[in-house]
Amino acid sequence: MSIPEPAEEQRGERLQKVLARAGLSSRREAERWLAEGRISVNGAVVRRPGTRVDPARDTVRVDGKRVAGREPTVYYLLNKPAGCLTTTHDPQGRPLVMDLLGRVRQRVFPVGRLDFNTTGLLILTNDGELALRLLRPASKCPKVYRVKVRGVPDENTLKRLAKGIVLEGRRTLPCRIARAGGGANSWLQVTMTEGRRNQIRRMFLQVGHPVSRLQRVAIGPIRDPRLMVGHFRPLTPLEVRRLKEAVA
């Protein structure tokens, strides 16, 4: 069966939703896959984010592998090391967080991103709907970071950052910043509900205190100070329930 023509666009389901429900990706990740030409429908590569398909009749493939029915949902917590990318694929062959999950049989994906040199907690799952809720700004799910910056920001600078500053023409949402130790260079704890690209690094760079270390220590109710860097574990049923309640 051919890909629906424009006149039929309202039939079926959006391709991103089908992939999310199948547990293969978040909708945001699916849009990247479309742009990279990794998805085909009935043998033809598709790149349009609005493409609709009928899962009962259309054959959808990712990287040549057919999208099957939904697998049981799984949830993992990883303590990401520096020096790896938070993505499922990299054309340049750089280290990925997925390389650390050798024992995981299900095809999971990271929820959100930590940049190359940022460490800390990262959730990986095949539950596309939960991932979508966690990534929506409206969910207001707090993420907590330990941040080491050069120098000692004064109180006015911290208050300015906490109220929100303009980055690339748009003001950041309010956040909480508390001092967490340090001497000539400061350790801070930053709690925020927003997650723009390299946001914390760009915020502190703009006020003259570049970040030298950045670690995420909590995602909503999820913490684990004992999880070693580079290691992962399944979330417990209680943790999964609390995480879903936090973004309901």
Maximum pairwise Cα distance, the chain: 66
Q: Do 92 and 47 meet the contact criterion of CB atoms below 8 Å apart? A: no
Give the integer Cα–Cα distance in Å for 93 and 131.
25
CA angle 206, 211, 216 (to 5 degrees): 120
| Residue 35 token pair | 């742009």
Q: Is there a catalytic annotation at residue 127?
A: no
Catalytic residue from among 115, 127, 154, 224: 115
Give the integer Cα–Cα distance in Å for 122 and 112.
8
Q: Quick one: how many helices (H) and strands (E) in the chain?
A: 6, 16
Q: Do 215 and 81 meet the contact criterion of CB atoms below 8 Å apart? A: no
Q: Which residues pair with 39 in a beta bridge?
A: 62
End-to-end Cα separation, the chain, in angstroms: 38
3-state secondary structure string across 25-68 = CCHHHHHHHHHCCCEEECCEECCCCCCEECCCCCCEEECCEECC
As annotated, the active-site residues are 115
